Amino acid sequence: MSRLGVLALQGGYDAHAKALRDLGHAVDEVRTADELAAVEGLVLPGGESTTHLILIDRFALEAPLRAFVASGKPVLATCCGLILCAAEVVSPPQKSFGWVDVTVARNAWGRQVHSFEDTADPDSALGPVGLLFIRAPRIQRVGTGVQVLATYRGEPVLVRQGNVTAGAFHPELTKDRSVHAAVFGRG
């Protein structure tokens, strides 16, 4: 893939850009519909989901994001990105885009002080992927059309539906590049 984008409205987009560059990709920070139209894949990073929703609305990006996902181009959504992609968000309920048939509970892996690092279960599709949870959402329900790619203690933490891969953790903050490589390949 020649050019990938990271939604750069708020949150941890720099670390994703570095992870993608480590894999040999050219990376653009995406803040406008024109910038989104110029990339061949997209990361929806962690951050604060209600803030992301406000900024997506302010910059008129909802329709372009929906069109991007509908185009079939690869999307990686982490932490807050998973919340935005979910079919349903609880604790508390909020708007989401419904691109992945999962129900997620916000901050359900604990508060900031409960952040932790570990590895995915070894029988996960991607193997023992490095996991870093920071106020992470928890996947409570997985729809029938959703593939579970990684689990932690038997719970789904990385899922894929169609061209959207979504994780409850921050792979960009570990040295493990397997999640980014599984979605976008190597540049």
Active-site residues: which are they?
79, 170, 172
């508060």: which residue's tokens? 111
Question: What tokens does 60 get?
Answer: 């008129």
Interior CA angle at 113 toward 141 and 116, to 5°? 60
- Is 87 within 8 Å of 115 (Cβ atoms)? no
SS3 1: coil
Cα radius of gyration (the chain)? 15
What is the spatial distance between Cα 149 and Cα 146, in angstroms, rounded to a whole number? 9
Cα–Cα dist 164/161, whole Å? 5
The helix or strand, by DSSP H or E, that contains position 169, with its residue range, turns out to be none
**DSSP-derived pairing of the beta strands 75-78 and 3-7:** unpaired
